[in-house]
Amino acid sequence: MILLEPERLSRREKRIVFLLMDCLLVPISLYAGFALRYGSARPWEFLSSSLLLFPLMTGIGVVAAYVLKLDRIKLHAFETNAVSRIGVASVVLSVSAIIFSYLLGLDGPRSVPLIFGIIFFCLAVVTRLAALSVLRWAAHRDVNQKRVAIYGAGAAGIQLASALRQAQEARPMFFVDDNPSLNGLMISGLQVYSPSVLEAQLSRQDISQILLAVPSLSKSRRTEIIEKLKTYDAEVKVLPSYIELMTGNAFADSLRPVSPDQLLGRENVALDTPEIAKAYAGRVVMVTGAGGSIGSELCRQLLSCNPTRIILFEQSEYQLYTIDQELKTLANTAGIEVTARLGSVTNKARVSGVIAREGVEIILHAAAYKHVPLVEENELEGARNNVMGTQIVATAAAEAKVERFILVSTDKAVRPTNIMGATKRMAELVIQDLQTRSTATKFSMVRFGNVLGSSGSVIPLFQSQIAKGGPITVTHKDVTRFFMTIPEAARLVLLAGAFAKDGDVFVLDMGTPKKIIDIAHQMVALSGRKVKDSETGVGDIAIEITGLRPGEKLYEELLIDDDNLLPTPHPKILRAQEGMLSQIEVAAMLRELQAAIVASDADRLRKLIMARVEGFHVQSEEVPAE
- Rounded Cα distance between 616 and 234, Å, is 48
In the prediction, which pLDDT does 417 show? Answer: 81
DSSP 223-249: HHHHHHHTTSSSEEEEPPPHHHHHHT-
Name every residue whose Cβ is closer than 8 Å to that of residue 517 and which is 6 or more positions away in sequence.
474, 477, 479, 543
What pLDDT was estimated at residue 550? 66
Question: Nearest to residue 89, comparing CAs of 112, 122, 121?
Answer: 121
pLDDT (0 to 100) of residue 456: 57
Q: Give per-10-residue mean pLDDT for the chain (626 aa).
A: 49 72 78 72 66 76 75 57 76 79 68 78 78 64 71 82 70 86 82 88 85 76 77 76 47 45 51 70 93 87 88 94 90 89 95 95 92 89 95 95 90 83 91 88 82 62 78 81 73 76 71 76 71 78 79 57 65 74 91 94 92 75 41
Annotation marks residue 412 as catalytic: yes
Whether the domain at 146-247 and the domain at 263-612 fall into the same CATH topology: yes
Q: Output 104-113 pairs: Cβ under 8 A, ≥24 positions apart.
A: 104/52, 106/49, 106/50, 106/52, 106/53, 107/46, 107/49, 107/50, 108/34, 108/46, 108/49, 108/50, 109/37, 111/37, 112/30, 112/33, 112/34, 112/37, 112/50, 113/33
Sequence ranges of the domains in the chain: 6-139, 146-247, 263-612
d(CA 540, CA 529): 6
Q: For position 115, what pLDDT does the model report?
A: 80
Q: Are 211 and 237 in contact (CB under 8 A)?
A: yes
The one catalytic residue among 14, 237, 412, 477: 412
Q: What is the pTM of this model?
A: 0.55
CATH of domain 263-612: 3.40.50.720
CATH number, span 146-247:
3.40.50.720
